[in-house]
Amino acid sequence: MLYFNRDGYLGLDRIQPQKPTAPEALAFSIASRVAKLQGHANGIVAITSLHAFIDLFRVLSRRHSDVFVEQGSYPVGVWGAESAICHGLRIFSFPHHDIEGLESIIRRRRRSGRRAIVLADGVCTGCGRVPPLDQYADVIRRVEGLLVIDDAQGFGLLGATPTQESLYGRGGGGVMKYLGLSSEHIITVASLAKTFGVSIAVVSATVELIKEIKAFGRTSTHCTSPRPAVLQTATGMLTSNQISGDLQRFQLLKNVQDFRALAESAGIRPYGGIFPIQTIFVPNVERAQRRCTRAGIKPMFTSQDENRLAISFIVSTRHSKRDLEKAARLIVRLSN
């Protein structure tokens, strides 16, 4: 079976830590390294992004706040915000990538005297684009609010100073580095699962906010801590990223571009742009599933309604040219 449904886009080899380290020290080191890579002052490790968002919005709800969620945002961050509704947080939505819509709704709500918090993805998995986060950040600065970025897709993939030869940028510091954003008024939740294949997340923000999360967050108290093996793997992946991450990002970009070129040569244009998740829509769900099984390819069935199915192919550095050709031929059959 050929898998196009797995995380760990870069296919990095884990570098084993040279000596045993206590889990608490590993967690502190991971949080510090991830925060620094993005340009933040401090960070704290969470078991998953959901745990991270639950603790973050629980703390943010201690001050009367409105959360403005961009439509189409990945649901995990939204679930975290919704978990704090019982603590007084209020949630509103604004249209996808619509800066004027955001400004309008914040303007209407400012009379309430509540702090404005914008929640948006670093990379939209639906359209494969980076939202206008620089403009969101400008709006938030003017009203002294906060911008919370779910950078699950951007961290480890995007980085500083993107060029035509290196469209993802360098370093893997995520969307803040990619857009050249300063950390003022910005909080990020970065999962290591998507690009590095490690199920762990880090909240990065100011020293003061991280202290609040440590003091008032509940999941770190009532849920199991990340296992030592996960912490060791995350540590090794961050080190591997330092050594060979940019080379792997270059190879990943080539694989994505090759995959799209193969599909487009047959008249199929997947959604996803330059990002690893390439999506098509098919009208017949059962027939599509049978064809995938017969082809020996396992994509990700991402959404379904009565009449059509979204099928995503997650491209990684592990895929050979032959793998990409086989998947592209399947896309043509699925679209017919």
- pLDDT tens-digit series, residues 221-268: 888 889 999 999 999 999 999 999 999 999 999 999 999 999 999 999
Q: Is the dihedral of CA 299, 302, 305, 308 positive or negative?
A: negative
- CA proximity to 311, closest of 299, 322, 320: 299
DSSP tag of 271 = B
pTM of the model as a whole:
0.95
Indicate whether 19 pLDDT > 80. Answer: no
- pLDDT tens-digit series, residues 117-161: 999 999 998 888 999 999 999 999 999 999 999 999 999 999 999
Q: Please tell me the predicted confidence (pLDDT) of residue 163.
A: 95
- pLDDT tens-digit series, residues 271-305: 999 999 999 988 877 888 899 999 999 999 876 55
- pLDDT tens-digit series, residues 178-237: 999 998 899 999 999 999 999 999 999 999 999 999 999 999 888 888 999 999 999 999
- At 52, is the pLDDT very low, low, confident or very high (cuts 50, 70, 90)? very high
Domains within the chain, CATH numbers bracketed = 14-240 (3.40.640.10), 244-335 (3.90.1150.10)
User: Rounded distance, CA 55 to CA 244, Å?
Assistant: 33
Which residues 6+ apart lie within 8 Å of 172 measured at CB? 37, 155, 156, 157, 158, 159, 195, 241, 245, 246, 249
